[in-house]
Amino acid sequence: MSKIIASCKDIIKTFNSGEAEVKALQGITLDVYENELLMLVGPSGCGKTTFVSVLSGLLSFNSGVCKLMGENISAMNDDELTTFRGKNIGFVFQAFNLLPSLSAIENVALPLTVASRKRAEILTLASEMLEAVGLSGKEDVKPSGLSGGEQQKVAIARALVHNPKFIICDEPTSSLDHKSGEIVMELLQKIIKEKGASMIVVTHDNRIYKYADRIVHMEDGKIIKVAS
């Protein structure tokens, strides 16, 4: 049995939008293990994004316990949580979310810059990472000059450059064509296996299910099935 990297118990999250109350998560319990690639699937609006937001400490929740690397995130204040997240979690988004004003390498370097690492170190790590995703030569190109697939590769490099233990990807392939999606998934799989990190991939795309170690099915804010 491998080590648990993230563990959630009875997570409940409701949104109050206007007069209506949306029960986005209705008691989610899930462990994520070291070194696994876990996929989170389910119909639109079932609470997948809400769940990974909670799991990464980006969203507060009503009740339940969420532990990351053994630490209870509800016990941390905003600054502690931010630092913790900066150190231990990497993100890949459907919309890439690269900073449009920064070059590819500057975008990749962001988690290191934010952590005030040394300049030389930042440069080496960022260019190594950019090379690892197959984008050497594009260091100084701004996101607007890159294709969608290339932008997502930059985002992946950014998610991994600081060696996080836990990587969260929300629909990483939805904005990409099939071929780019495959390339991105292969890249993600390869790199996390190399680095020994864990990863949650939220997806609609059943063509990439084959990369999963486990698939968690959600519906209406609940986990209805976990398949290996």
135 lines the binding site for ligand ATP (CB under 6 A): no
Which of these segments, 29-37, 55-63, 188-196, 208-216, binds other proteins (CB under 8 A)?
A: 55-63
Closer CB to Mg ion, 55 or 122, in the complex: 55
Smallest separation (angstroms) from ligand ATP to the CB of 92: 14
CA end-to-end distance (rounded Å), the chain: 14
Distance set, CA 25 to CA 55, 102, 207 (Å): 12, 36, 26
Q: Rounded CA gap, 180 and 159, in Å?
A: 18
17 lines the binding site for ligand ATP (CB under 6 A): yes
Smallest separation (angstroms) from ligand ATP to the CB of 15: 3
Phi/psi at 138 (5° precision): -105, 20
Grouping H, G, I as helix, E, B as strand and the rest as coil, residue 126 is helix
Binding mask 108-127 for other proteins (x = CB under 8 A): --xx-xxx------------
224 binds, among ligand ATP, Mg ion, other proteins, none (CB under 5 to 8 A by kind): none
Asked if residues 215 and 226 have their Cβ atoms less than 8 Å apart, the reply is: yes
Among 11, 24, 49, 53, which residue sits at the site for Mg ion (rule: CB under 5 A)? 49
Q: Which residue has the tokens 């986990």?
A: 223
Angle of helix 178-195 relative to helix 148-160, nearest 10 degrees?
10
Closer CB to ligand ATP, 9 or 23, in the complex: 23
173 lines the binding site for Mg ion (CB under 5 A): no
Task: Identify the burial level of 50 via C-beta atoms within 10 angstroms of its C-beta, where 0-12 means exposed, 13-18 middle and 19 or more buried.
Answer: buried
38 lines the binding site for ligand ATP (CB under 6 A): no
Q: Rounded CA gap, 208 and 186, in Å?
A: 10
Closer CB to ligand ATP, 44 or 144, in the complex: 44
How many Cα atoms sit within 13 Å of 212 on the Cβ side? 22
Strands 198-202 and 166-170: parallel
Among 4, 22, 59, 76, which residue sits at the site for other proteins (rule: CB under 8 A)? 59
Site size toward ligand ATP, by CB under 6 A: 11
Q: Which residues bind ligand ATP (CB under 6 A)?
A: 15, 17, 22, 24, 44-50
Q: Which residues bind other proteins (CB under 8 A)?
A: 49-50, 52-53, 56, 58-59, 78-79, 82-83, 85-87, 91, 93-95, 97, 99-102, 106, 110-111, 113-115, 158, 170
